[in-house]
Amino acid sequence: MQKYLFILSFLLNGLHLACAQNGNPIVVQHGDLLSYANSLDNALSIAVAGDAIYLPAGSFSTQSGINKKVSIYGVGYRQDVADISGVTVIQGNINVTSSATGTLISGVHIQTSLTFVDANIDNFILTNCKISSIVAGSTSWNPCAGSGIAAVTIKECVILNTIMSKIGAGCQHRINFNIQNSIIQPQLFGDNFNVTNCVILNSGNAAAFDFNSSSVTNSIIYANYVNSIGSSYFNNNLIVGIPNSGIDTTNRQNLYKASTYRDTVFVNNTTTNFNEENDYHTKPACTVCANKGIYSGATPYKPLPANPHLVSKVIPNSVNGQSLRFEIRVRLSNQ
């Protein structure tokens, strides 16, 4: 509760500062102490490990990347549910080092890519974000480097392009991607993916899966074809468009439907790629969709970030003396 009261105070203070300064303040919280920054790099410089950074609506970028444990909260990435607050956008590539172990990013649209530039990143969490692409590794990263098995968790996100868990050949990169209740397009490439309750939208020429040592369960998969699935495990998925060619080595309760079945799955799905206007709830008549997709499982997909944000405001045209009367409504993701 204390956290939410602080964020509500931040929203109201931010509204006041925006009116006073015609700008969007960035707040860095260190315990009970608050600092203000004029850029994301400035906020990352001010923050110490364990601090929280609150980004308002607007566009931001970072040259320094993330090299310490921080929690970064935006106001959301979907214009349709953040119409009053606006959306938080980080432009350009974000480089992440192993020193950022334990970092959380929530409620942000990362327009280019998130790149893990060295090994041993662990407990890195992305939630309620829209991200262009995610890359684990770089051409300068020795793919055999690192002594630990790293983990990145992606929950309730939209990934617009490839998630690549390795670059080059030779050794597996030591990144495990745990992806839950998210929308993914168009490809998972590499190794060590654990995908649960997702919607995978693949309509292009790239294979939906080109990986090894991975698992996909309780998901709805729209795809044209797969490339290599190695020693991977598929169970209890609805797979539309791909014939059963190598996915099932034993009966694992996957259901296969022809591409003509696409129109019978989701409540509203007018495009083959992700669109905010589409409704990815499954139709009640789709009995084979039970317990599958982003609205099933332990953490059903929500389009809103966890932190409160403005959903409406009422400001009269007249003032009472020197006072301006206004009404602000704030909503949490679970309301």
Residues 189-211 have pLDDT tens digits of 877 889 999 999 876 666 778 88
The pLDDT of residue 49 is above 80: yes
Q: Give the structural domain span for 195.
A: 49-305
287 occurs within a structural domain: yes
Cβ contact 104:72 at 8 Å = yes
Radius of gyration over alpha carbons of the chain, in Å? 21
Number of H helices, E strands in the chain: 2, 29
Q: With residue 194 as reference, give the H or E element that holds it.
A: strand 193-196
Pairwise pLDDT comparison (307 vs 93), residue with the higher score:
93
The pLDDT of residue 272 is above 70: yes
Q: Report the distance separating Cα 201 and Cα 272, nearest Å.
A: 7
Note the residue count of the chain: 335
* φ and ψ of 177, to 5 deg: -100, 115
Pairwise pLDDT comparison (307 vs 221), residue with the higher score:
221
The pLDDT of residue 42 is above 80: yes
38 occurs within a structural domain: no
Q: Where are the alpha helices (DSSP H) in 126-279?
A: none
59 occurs within a structural domain: yes
39 occurs within a structural domain: no
**∠ Cα 264 270 275 (to 5°):** 120
247 occurs within a structural domain: yes
Q: Where are the alpha helices (DSSP H) in 51-117?
A: none
pLDDT of residue 277: 87
Q: What 8-state DSSP symbol labels residue 23?
A: S
Residues of the chain with pLDDT > 70, as a percent, come to 71
Pairwise pLDDT comparison (330 vs 95), residue with the higher score:
95
Residue 187 CA, distance from chain mean position: 15
Cβ contact 112:92 at 8 Å = yes
Question: What's the total number of domains in the chain?
Answer: 1
13 occurs within a structural domain: no
Any idea which of 52-56, 150-154, 304-308, 331-335 has the lowest mean pLDDT?
331-335
Query: In which band, very low, low, confident or very high, does the pLDDT at 63 lie, cut at 50, 70 and 90?
Result: very high
25 occurs within a structural domain: no
Q: Report the distance separating Cα 153 and Cα 102, nearest Å.
A: 11
334 occurs within a structural domain: no
Query: In which band, very low, low, confident or very high, does the pLDDT at 51 lie, cut at 50, 70 and 90?
Result: very high
